[in-house]
A = this chain, B = another copy of it.
Amino acid sequence: MTELKQIDQEVQALMWQMRTETLSKMQQPFNVDEKSGRKDLVTTVDKSNEKAIVAKLRELDPDAQILGEEGFGDQIEQTAGRVWLIDPLDGTMNFVMQQNNFAIMISLYEDGVGVLGYIMDVMNAQLYHGDTKSVFVNNKQIEPPTNLHLRDALIGISGPLLINNDHNMQVIAKKSRGPRMYGSAGIEFAKVMSGELIGYISYLRPWDFAAGKILAQTLNLQVKAIDGGPLSMLSSNVVLVATERASEEVITLAN
């Protein structure tokens, strides 16, 4: 295995390369298919991105396992050892409909513990990356956001959770200064880290939150299941990322 520091440099370069390739593929025709239904899309760009990322990670870290959204990695049933998680295009609906507000995400876990995380906001050319010690946007280290209360800031909530009032989301939205809805976990984790949102709540799969969890925790943000418990790294969860104060308040209101 390559040194961790060198792997980090190589994966950062890979993220920028994937950004360039994604922008280029966006200008050409690509196929769109439905997965579980008309609100769950996959494109040939998701697939080719994942193949390229898997190939590079195999080269960098041949003994690790890889869990990719589109299935080009390994079948993973436990979190022991080194595991890379890949979301080759997060916010595929936005990618197709808006050509805006989508991300590419990669992360490395070791025995279930986060090691490295990467979120590329493609259209804004911002790479959020870091480890358990520090978080950077491109080359600039960022500070933890202010530990605000729910009542004092905006909160990101996914459409289905808000519409169905799951876990009391409508009350939570009303307690905040207002809900926002951007349609990409990567973009919304980035907005929580930059302080644009005090928190974000959505039903997510492991590759949707794996990178954000590592980076957000390094910035003193809480990342939990909506019941206040730990997140499973192998299944779907209603995920809450928020400042410490807002996290406590949301969990109280949601349960």
State the main secondary structure of chain A at its contact with B: mixed
- A100 (CB) vs chain B CBs: closest residue: B196
Chain A 147-174 per-residue mask, 1 if CB under 8 angstroms from chain B, else 0: 0000101100001001100000010011
Q: Does A5 reach chain B (CB closer than 8 Å)?
A: no
Taking a contact as CB atoms under 8 Å apart, the answer to whether B196 and A97 are in contact is yes
Residues of B within 8 A of A197 (CB): 98
- A179 (CB) vs chain B CBs: closest residue: B159
**Contact among B97, B174, B177 for A163, CB-based, below 8 A:** B174
Q: Does A182 reach chain B (CB closer than 8 Å)?
A: yes
- CA separation between A183 and B177, bound complex, in Å? 11
**Contact among B97, B159, B174 for A153, CB-based, below 8 A:** B97
Q: Does A231 reach chain B (CB closer than 8 Å)?
A: no
Q: Does A112 reach chain B (CB closer than 8 Å)?
A: no
Q: Does A144 reach chain B (CB closer than 8 Å)?
A: no
Chain A 24-57 per-residue mask, 1 if CB under 8 angstroms from chain B, else 0: 0000000000000011000000000000000000
Taking a contact as CB atoms under 8 Å apart, the answer to whether A180 and B177 are in contact is no
Taking a contact as CB atoms under 8 Å apart, the answer to whether A93 and B163 are in contact is no
- CA separation between A179 and B197, bound complex, in Å? 18
Taking a contact as CB atoms under 8 Å apart, the answer to whether A182 and B183 are in contact is no
- CA separation between A197 and B93, bound complex, in Å? 12
Residues of B within 8 A of A151 (CB): 38
Beyond A93-B154, A97-B177, A162-B163: 16 further Cβ-contacts under 8 Å?
A38-B177, A39-B177, A39-B178, A94-B154, A97-B153, A97-B196, A98-B191, A99-B196, A100-B196, A159-B180, A162-B162, A163-B170, A163-B173, A179-B181, A180-B181, A180-B183
Residues of B within 8 A of A196 (CB): 97-100
